[in-house]
Amino acid sequence: MKRSDDIRSSSLDISDAEMLQLATSVSELVSEYFATVSTLPVFPETSGGDASRELGTDLPVEPQSIEQLLQDCRTILKHSRHNGHPRFFGYVASPATAPGAFADLIASAVNVNVTSWRSGPAATEVERAVIRWLGSLIGYADNSHGLLTSGGSMANLTALLIAHRAKSETDVAGKGVTSAQALMTIYASDQIHMSIPKAADILGLGREQVRIVDSDKNYRLDPRRLRERIEADRQHGLRPFCVIASSGTVNTGAIDPLNEVADIAKEFDLWFHVDGAYGALGAL
């Protein structure tokens, strides 16, 4: 039978003193980073393998000190691209903030698995409140629903899954996408984010079923061309079920004529999905 001190020595728990030291050291590291990020190069002077060579790739078999772990963290920071730099304008990656960093610490301390209300009662209610707040900012009713995802790509995948299931006339969950009597098609402009055809691939619909519509001179979805494409596909036996508009494309920030596209979606009984540079919204 193991003695209590043996059990403690094999545990991942650390002493109160070690926890205080860790919290203090990490807070100092994070504060130092936020205070100096503007003085760093936006992209580090590094090449493939540099970080690995400094960190080492052998699996550690002996405990490492907090000081060594923090030094490894500094190495990682040195070889990172700094999205929070004031001169960083690439892509749509949002910068880190001090409140967000410490909020992550609190969230990680609880480590909630928000699969249902029972698994994370408070977290579920916070998520619902945030969804209502976001909905109110764009004019959605108080009874609107949604969920937070890890990013826009997962949001698009989830939204297209819901759209497909809502508009399918067969038991897709039980019989699969091949149970449909006609190929179901999605419509989007040539400026759409790459996650849309990728989602169609993952869902088994096929990338070719994302029907690309030419944009106008302002890189916006052209309603006239959209209507022509839908009508042509229907005449050839395809079954349109979803149209996607952008509320800010990644390439240019162009916003499609949402009201006109919504009218076409309503006319042809299509699911109307709005994708944006920072997330996705789905609507009937």
**Model confidence pLDDT, tens digit, residues 228-263:** 999 999 999 999 999 999 999 888 889 999 999 999
**Model confidence pLDDT, tens digit, residues 99-122:** 999 999 999 999 998 888 999 999
Tally of CB atoms within 10 A around 88:
15
Q: Which residues of 123-160 are buried (b: 16+ CB within 10 A; e: fewer)?
A: ebeeeeeebbeebeeeebeeeeebeeeeebbebbbbbb
In contact, 29 and 69? CB cutoff 8 Å:
no
Strand order through the sheet with 184-189: 210-213, 184-189, 239-246, 271-276, 279-283
For residue 79, pLDDT over 50 is answered with: yes
Whole-number average pLDDT of the chain: 89
For residue 283, pLDDT over 70 is answered with: no
Residue 74 to residues 26, 30, 219, Cα–Cα distance (Å): 11, 10, 42
Closest CA relative to residue 251, chosen from 198, 175, 193, 186: 193
CA dist., res. 95 & res. 9, Å (int): 40
**Model confidence pLDDT, tens digit, residues 18-66:** 899 999 999 999 999 999 999 999 999 899 999 999 999 899 888 888 8
For residue 7, pLDDT over 60 is answered with: no
At residue 281, the pLDDT reads: 52
Confidence of residue 188 (pLDDT cuts 50, 70, 90): very high
For residue 280, pLDDT over 80 is answered with: no
Higher pLDDT residue, 70 or 277? Answer: 70
Q: Do the strands 279-283 and 271-276 form a parallel or antiparallel pair, or are they unpaired?
A: antiparallel
Higher pLDDT residue, 9 or 11? Answer: 11
Which stretch of 153-167, 171-185, 227-241 has the lowest confidence by average pLDDT? Answer: 171-185
- The CA R_g of the chain, rounded to the nearest whole Å, is 25
Place of tokens 């060579």: 53
At residue 9, the pLDDT reads: 55
Give mean pLDDT, residues 172-178.
87
Displacement of CA 74 from its chain's centroid (Å):
27
CA dist., res. 82 & res. 71, Å (int): 18
Q: Residue 282 class from Cβ within 10 Å (0-12 exposed, 13-18 middle, 19+ buried)?
A: buried
CA dist., res. 202 & res. 257, Å (int): 28
Higher pLDDT residue, 211 or 150? Answer: 211
Place of tokens 């039978």: 1
At residue 201, the pLDDT reads: 97
At residue 1, the pLDDT reads: 44
